[in-house]
């Protein structure tokens, strides 16, 4: 048996040797392989557009790979180009030829019937992600300044104390949803979380107000990179908060009421 095995092995070796010396076969084998960077191509957020309707996608303002290592490129691309796009398209479809067609997204959210699950989920999904894209940034604006800094200190004791409380609320939230920093009717800053795609503008919100910071707690926001380690995602995303933008939204919120 061993002799037979060895003979088969030697014949195979000879065949391989012969094949390698055959020019034609060598040509077939030499198929140009894509370079590493071609295999890893990521898209351009500016190429993604909603189908015809009232709402276009909010511009991301940075590339998918710019938030790494806090948020990886593939997660960002899937999140913006698939999940967010789907909400925008479904919202446009849901309000087509209805009383909501000409309203702003904030007006839709405050006026909609929360029992209308399709409109609630898609209007919420569209608006919430818009807040999220603005809440994070590759530019490091690590600390709140001016009015927001003073108000965080007033309402939470300190910026560090706010962060601890915000992260605890986000970690504690069970299942899909959002963590928010909200300006309530009296101008006070409040931390809250909402289920699914609900938000603090909706009539069913326990804490009502204007969101100035929103963090996506759905698994699709972190699962590729962090798997079940939601706490690690929350810690990482807090390092990417665009406090300059949150500060601007705070000042705007003091001027307008939805």
Q: Which residues bind Mn ion (CB under 5 A)?
A: 216, 218
**Beta carbon of residue 72, minimum distance to Mn ion (angstroms, whole number):** 15
Which of 78, 103 has the CB closer to Mn ion? 78
Which of 77, 216 has the CB closer to Mn ion? 216
- Report the phi/psi class of residue 182: left, alpha or beta, with left for phi > 0 and alpha for psi in -120 to 50: beta
3-state secondary structure of 242: strand
Q: How far apart are CA 95 and CA 106, in angstroms?
A: 14
- Give CA 58 to chain center in angstroms: 12
- Write down the H helix ranges in the chain: 2-21, 23-29, 36-39, 73-78, 85-95, 105-111, 117-135, 146-156, 159-172, 223-226, 230-238, 243-255
**Beta carbon of residue 207, minimum distance to Mn ion (angstroms, whole number):** 20
Q: How far apart are CA 109 and CA 217, in angstroms?
A: 20
**Beta carbon of residue 149, minimum distance to Mn ion (angstroms, whole number):** 28
Query: Residue for token digits 């990482």?
Result: 236
**Beta carbon of residue 88, minimum distance to Mn ion (angstroms, whole number):** 12
Which of 103, 176 has the CB closer to Mn ion? 176
**Beta carbon of residue 22, minimum distance to Mn ion (angstroms, whole number):** 54
Q: Which of 199, 192, 208, 212 is nearest to 144 (CA)?
A: 212
Which of 111, 196 has the CB closer to Mn ion? 196
**Beta carbon of residue 193, minimum distance to Mn ion (angstroms, whole number):** 14
Which of 62, 218 has the CB closer to Mn ion? 218
30 C-beta neighbours (distance < 10 Å), count: 8
Which of 151, 197 has the CB closer to Mn ion? 197
Query: Which CB contacts under 8 angstroms, 24+ apart, belong to 183-187?
Result: 183/209, 183/210, 183/212, 183/250, 183/253, 183/254, 184/208, 184/209, 185/209, 185/257, 187/254
């Amino acid at each position: 048996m061993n002799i037979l095995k060895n003979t088969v092995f030697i014949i195979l070796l000879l065949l391989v040797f012969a094949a390698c010396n055959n020019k034609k076969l060598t040509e077939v084998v030499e198929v140009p392989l894509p370079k590493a960077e071609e295999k890893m191509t990521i898209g351009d957020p500016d190429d993604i557009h909603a189908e015809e309707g009232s709402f276009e996608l909010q511009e991301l303002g940075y590339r998918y790979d710019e938030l790494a290592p806090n948020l990886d490129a593939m997660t960002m691309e899937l999140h913006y180009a698939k999940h967010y796009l789907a909400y925008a398209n479904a919202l446009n479809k849901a309000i087509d030829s209805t009383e909501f067609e000409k309203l702003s997204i904030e007006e839709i959210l405050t006026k909609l019937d929360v029992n209308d699950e399709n409109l609630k989920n898609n209007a919420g999904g569209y608006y919430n992600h818009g807040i999220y894209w603005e809440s994070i940034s590759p530019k490091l604006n690590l600390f709140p300044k001016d009015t927001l800094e003073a108000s965080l200190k007033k309402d939470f004791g300190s910026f560090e104390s706010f962060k601890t409380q915000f992260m605890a609320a986000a970690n504690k939230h069970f299942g899909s949803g959002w963590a928010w920093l909200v300006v309530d009717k009296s101008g006070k800053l409040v931390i809250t979380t909402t289920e699914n795609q609900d938000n603090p503008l909706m009539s069913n919100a326990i804490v009502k107000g204007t969101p100035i910071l929103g963090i996506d707690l759905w698994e699709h926001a972190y699962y590729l990179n962090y798997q079940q380690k939601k706490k690690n995602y929350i810690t990482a995303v807090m390092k990417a908060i665009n406090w300059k933008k949150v500060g601007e939204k705070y000042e705007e919120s003091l001027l307008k009421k939805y």
